[in-house]
Amino acid sequence: MVDDFLLRALAAGAGVALIAGPLGAFVVWRRMAYFGDTIAHAALLGVALSLLIEIDLTLGVFVAAALTSVLLLVLERRRALPTDALLGILAHSTLAIGLVIVALMEGVRVDLLSYLFGDILAVGARDLWLIWIGGAVVLALLAWIWRPLLAATVSEELAEAEGLKPQRARLLFMLAMALTIAIAMKIVGILLITSLLIIPAAAARRFAATPEAMAALASLIGVAAVAAGLSGSWFWDTPSGPSIVVAALLGFLISFVAVRRRTA
């Protein structure tokens, strides 16, 4: 008989994977992998601020990630530095500031490993509600901006000419990413969440014929990776978050080999 905590972990991981699939598709199409890392690093600053001012952890992470996204857009418009340089500055600065704040809080013990690499086996009923309700919000938002975001991925000038407001769509996409990272942090952790966004989408890209098919297939691959990673973690006593990412990597390698054989 399967233990309840394993079922909760599987339900939580599946919920995150379903959100990460379509988001990850846009991350791959728009070459925003480094942006995902930047927002994930900003999550640790959100953790530190949540502990410092005693607010809900998920809310603090979302606010920090969202503010980092808005700051990036503002700095991009000023064109003082290339986008990759801005991302590097924001990623490492927010991570370092978060670590310094945590170190300065006397009398507060923080398990950084659980934030960095996740602790999916500790997911409770409240976390499940948060993941699935938050995930529904993210998917609804993504469905609303799907057409302008897809058009802007092909040509931002054309999307602007058609009146699709690509800049607004991009901002909303960034906020959806921030919310996803906030609710997924407990699953695979700050350092590994970008992997769950990128790897299933990269594997799905080799098989899908349409953008919608790629988004759906990426979600399915992510769910399979969660199930395989949890199984491997249970049988071999390995960390659950990294095990999920390793399972996703194996899925990508299998897709890579399968496509090469089919082409040959």
**Residue written as tokens 């989408």?**
201
On whether residue 146 sits in a domain, the answer given is: yes
Confidence of residue 189 (pLDDT cuts 50, 70, 90): confident
On whether residue 196 sits in a domain, the answer given is: no
Share of the chain above pLDDT 70, in %: 96
Closest by Cα among 182, 178, 193, 174 to 56 = 182
Closest by Cα among 65, 76, 67, 71 to 39 = 65
For residue 13, what are the domain limits? 4-190
On whether residue 204 sits in a domain, the answer given is: no
The tens digit of pLDDT for each residue in 113-131 reads 778 788 888 888 888 999 9
| CATH code, domain carrying 74 | 1.10.3470.10
On whether residue 249 sits in a domain, the answer given is: no
The Cα–Cα gap between 114 and 21 comes to 24
State whether the Cα torsion 166-171-177-183 is positive or negative: negative
The tens digit of pLDDT for each residue in 85-108 reads 889 999 999 989 998 988 888 777
DSSP state, residue 121: G
CB 45 within 8 A of CB 225: no
On whether residue 25 sits in a domain, the answer given is: yes
pTM: 0.90
| pLDDT > 60? residue 30 | yes
Name the CA dihedral angle for 126, 122, 112, 181, rounded to a multiple of 10 degrees: -50
Residue 162 phi, psi (nearest 5): -85, 0
On whether residue 260 sits in a domain, the answer given is: no
The Cα–Cα gap between 97 and 79 comes to 24
Domains in the chain, number: 1
Average pLDDT over residues 212-227: 95
SS3 136: helix
When mean pLDDT is compared across 134-148, 174-188, 208-222, the lowest value belongs to 174-188
pLDDT for 217 equals 95
CB 25 within 8 A of CB 10: no
CB 169 within 8 A of CB 95: no
